[in-house]
Structure 1
Amino acid sequence: MVRESGRRVAADRSFTVRTKGSVENLVTSADIENERFLKQELTSLLPGSAFMGEEGDEASLAETEWVWIVDPIDGTTNFSRGIPECAVSVALFRNAEPYAGYVLNPFSGTLYSAVVGHGAFKDGRPIRVSDRDLAASIMSTAYCCYQKEMAAPCFRVSEELYPRINDIRRIGTAALELSLMAEGACELYFEICLSPWDYAAGLTILKEAGGCYAGIDRDVSFDRPSPVIAANSEENLAEVADVVRRVFGGKTPY
């Protein structure tokens, strides 16, 4: 089903684009159509389940035993410009806890998946985070294009960490970046303001692959927007979290 949704996204050559409040925040007709498709298929697959999606459905994790958290296209700006780095992101929660996650690149067809307690996989093959230390690590990040007043402290985080690590990437899709970490392609991740559908599936996969994550002054929320700090090891997580917390004064800025 996730693969079918990806095929539909990749095949859509006639999508339209509009903004959601600002020029940086885009939605395409492909987002809307793919969310409609996924909601119909997923809730039919699991009758009685609720659905939380980027393009309109606002279910709460407390609403019912099973809740789907879905981003029909994570990385809409990339998709809208023909950059083939985006993802269909589908997470399933049970009793407000992660149960399964699926992240598909619709253009390459690569599927990352995990069921809690059963490990993480890339196209059916087991994956694991790397064991690289901080100095050898690559960090993925972003600079909060929807709330540019938070860009300056995000740049400071990068500025402080950059001399201590290997390099920095900004790919433009949290779900895919977290999945790349799960397979050992990068080791560190930070973004100050994400919504649950951006990271629910990716963090589920990452944790099953041996990674770890944290917030600033509270746990990462799967019910409301949250900062996400993630790493391949607790040691690297502590190093990144220390910089983020110091730069942001130890508080989530919203």
Structure 2
Amino acid sequence: MTTDERLLDELADLALSIAREAGTLIAEHRAAGVEIAKTKSSATDIVTAADHASEDLIRERILAARPGDGVLGEEGSAVEGGTGVHWVVDPIDGTVNYAHGIPNYAVSIGVEVAGEPVVGVVLNPAQGLEYTAVRGRGAFRNGEPIRVADPVEVDQAVVGTGFNYRRDVREIQARTLAAMLPQVADIRRFGSCALDLCAVAEGSLDAYVEEGVGGAWDYTAGALIAVEAGAEVQVLTGVAGRILVTAAPSPSYPAFRDLLESCGFVG
């Protein structure tokens, strides 16, 4: 085993172990009752006490095991590292679902080495789902290999999406989705970018598009899982000037990208 392979094994094992511990923590907080800590971009863009507790735990566990690594977290972690290893963390992706008792939320941990994603873990404790990937080794759900759906024409595609918290962005999203809806089989909105990307990876969604995700913590882990399962993932700029995450099985992606262009998604 090469040094690089040993490093990947170490990072993958650590990421999964930490995600499981964070998943247990947020499940315990959920059972005890959700406390809204603050709002961010709007009254519906909430942060719970569990978001902060989960991110604190994840950051502490990473730095205890690998004190020279960098960490970026949605709730404020911004640790500069000197090892070339960088962790990208969403302590609860799908916080609104979490706060309302909808069991579609996840701990998302991505790891980059020299700027390239190499490990992804997306763990949904409410449904007992663990999605994992290591670069070049495929994607897995609860230890079993997963693959994207067989390619379909865009008019047969079930497409996942999400909505930004700002009203002006939502108005733009409403127009682009209205243009898309008659041209696809259907549209689904589940409330977690990371889990939507995993849905593409496992073949339960044919494609995914969302403008206005919060940052790299939303998509880094899920994007690697989707890519390792056979998807193409592109992070573009949307018509509202915000991050636009797009994904579909690689053979289907060019036609899906053309659809997005024609419906006005791409800036």
What is the aligned partner in structure 1 of residue 8 from structure 2? none
Q: Distance in 2 between matches of 1:164 and 1:247?
A: 10
Q: In the TM superposition, what is the alpha-carbon distance from 1:106 to its structure 2 partner?
A: 1.4
CA deviation vs aligned residue, 1:56-110 (integer Å, no higher than 9, x gap): 02357x9650010000000001101111110100000000110100001111121
Q: Distance in 2 between matches of 1:98 and 1:150?
A: 29
Alignment of 1:150 onto 2:169: yes
CA deviation vs aligned residue, 1:187-219 (integer Å, no higher than 9, x gap): 11111122100000000100000001223469x
Query: How much identity, in percent, do the aligned residues show?
Result: 36
Which aligned pairs between 1:200-219 and structure 2 lie closer than 5 A? 200-216=220-236
CA deviation vs aligned residue, 1:34-77 (integer Å, no higher than 9, x gap): 000011112223331110000002357x9650010000000001
Q: Distance in 2 between matches of 1:95 and 1:149?
A: 36
Whether the aligned pair in 2 keeps the contact of 1:157 and 1:243 (CA below 8 Å) is no
Amino acid at match of 1:34: S
Alignment of 1:23 onto 2:40: no
What is the aligned partner in structure 2 of residue 78 from structure 1? 97
Q: 1:66 to 1:143 in 2, by over 3 A?
A: same
Query: Which shows bigger deviation, 203-212 or 125-134?
Result: 125-134
Which aligned pairs between 1:40-119 and structure 2 lie closer than 5 A? 40-59=60-79, 64-119=83-138
What is the aligned partner in structure 1 of residue 245 from structure 2? 228
Q: In the TM superposition, what is the alpha-carbon distance from 1:158 to its structure 2 partner?
A: 2.1
Aligned length: 242
Q: Distance in 2 between matches of 1:43 and 1:22?
A: 32
Can you give the 5+ residue segments of structure 1 that lack an aligned partner in the other structure?
A: 219-224
Whether the aligned pair in 2 keeps the contact of 1:6 and 1:109 (CA below 8 Å) is no
Taking structure 1 as the reference length, the TM-score comes to 0.88
Q: Distance in 1 between matches of 2:60 and 2:178?
A: 44
Q: Where has structure 1 moved over 4 Å in runs of 4 or more?
A: 246-250
Whether the aligned pair in 2 keeps the contact of 1:216 and 1:244 (CA below 8 Å) is no
Q: Distance in 1 between matches of 2:72 and 2:236?
A: 24
Q: Tell me, what secondary structure is at the counterpart of 2:208?
A: strand
Can you give the 5+ residue segments of structure 2 that lack an aligned partner in the other structure?
A: 1-16
Whether the aligned pair in 1 keeps the contact of 2:163 and 2:212 (CA below 8 Å) is no
CA deviation vs aligned residue, 1:167-198 (integer Å, no higher than 9, x gap): 11000000011111101111111111221000
Q: Distance in 1 between matches of 2:232 and 2:79?
A: 26
What is the aligned partner in structure 2 of residue 239 from structure 1? 255
Amino acid at match of 1:228: V
What is the aligned partner in structure 2 of residue 170 from structure 1? 189
What is the aligned partner in structure 2 of residue 161 from structure 1? 180
Task: Specify which structure has the higher proportion of helix.
Answer: 2
Whether the aligned pair in 2 keeps the contact of 1:175 and 1:201 (CA below 8 Å) is yes
Q: In the TM superposition, what is the alpha-carbon distance from 1:21 to its structure 2 partner?
A: 4.4
What is the aligned partner in structure 2 of residue 222 from structure 1? none
Amino acid at match of 2:201: A
Q: In the TM superposition, what is the alpha-carbon distance from 1:19 to its structure 2 partner?
A: 1.4
Taking structure 2 as the reference length, the TM-score comes to 0.84
Q: In the TM superposition, what is the alpha-carbon distance from 1:165 to its structure 2 partner?
A: 2.0
2:158 to 138, 149, 155: 138
Q: What is the root-mean-square deviation in Å for CA atoms of aligned residues?
A: 2.0
Amino acid at match of 2:219: Y
Alignment of 1:8 onto 2:28: no
Q: Distance in 1 between matches of 2:243 and 2:115?
A: 16
Q: 1:118 to 1:249 in 2, by over 3 A?
A: closer
Q: In the TM superposition, what is the alpha-carbon distance from 1:240 to its structure 2 partner?
A: 2.9
Q: Distance in 1 between matches of 2:237 and 2:101?
A: 37
